[in-house]
Structure 1
Amino acid sequence: MAKRAFLDRTLSGEAVTGVRSIDIDTTNNSVDIHLFLDRSSVEVFLNEGEQVITSRIYPSESSLDFKLFAENGVVELEALDVWQLKDIWK
């Protein structure tokens, strides 16, 4: 079975649609994910940048969600670090 990472933009605002995906290397049964969210972009770096998905988004002001899941498998989240950047416009 192919191991793939997906970025689903179907709920990311009126101006964008579609799902992007890339193959991922899971030879050591783990995937290192660095996720960067901005007001209009998402960047996902997998396995220290070996694979990358980047996309524009246009969410509403109240849309602050993201989901991590596995189909036909299990995801175990070993660590989660979150940093909020200061707004440069205020």
Structure 2
Amino acid sequence: MSKAPLIVKKDGTINLRIFMDTTSIKLVVNDGEQVITNRIFPEDTSKQFNLFTEGGKVCVNSIESWKLGSVWK
């Protein structure tokens, strides 16, 4: 697990962009103020991920997703 200090905006919000493919995940916080990248090894049948917090509550205002095409096709 990777951790980084969280910088909350003046209005109390954060902006997260999560990029996932079959073997990696990248978390971009507040337009690049912080970036974490990790290799992942999910099961072939895995179709979900979970968001969670430690020591506080969170309210998700919106979620958008896009399916990426293969660069090999």
Distance in 2 between residues matched to 1:36 and 1:22, nearest whole Å: 17
Q: How many residues are treated as equivalent by the alignment?
A: 72
Q: CA deviation at 1:59?
A: 1.3
Please give the alpha-carbon distance, in whole angstroms, between the structure 1 residues aligned to 2:20 and 2:44. 13
Give the CA deviation at 1:31.
0.8
**Percent same amino acid at aligned positions?**
33
> Shift in Å at residue 88 of structure 1?
3.9
Structure (1 or 2) with the greater helix fraction: 2
Distance 1:40 1:72 in 2: 29
Distance of aligned partners of 1:27 and 1:86 in 2 relative to their CA distance in 1, 3 Å threshold: closer
Extract unaligned runs of 5+ from structure 2: none
Query: Of residues 8, 20, 35 in structure 2, which corresponds to 1:52?
Result: 35
Structure 1 gaps, min length 5: 1-18
* Deviation, structure 1 residue 36: 0.2
Could you say which structure has the higher strand fraction? 1
Please give the alpha-carbon distance, in whole angstroms, between the structure 1 residues aligned to 2:54 and 2:4. Answer: 15
2:21 counterpart of 1:38 = yes
Higher relative contact order (CA 8 A, sep 6+): 1
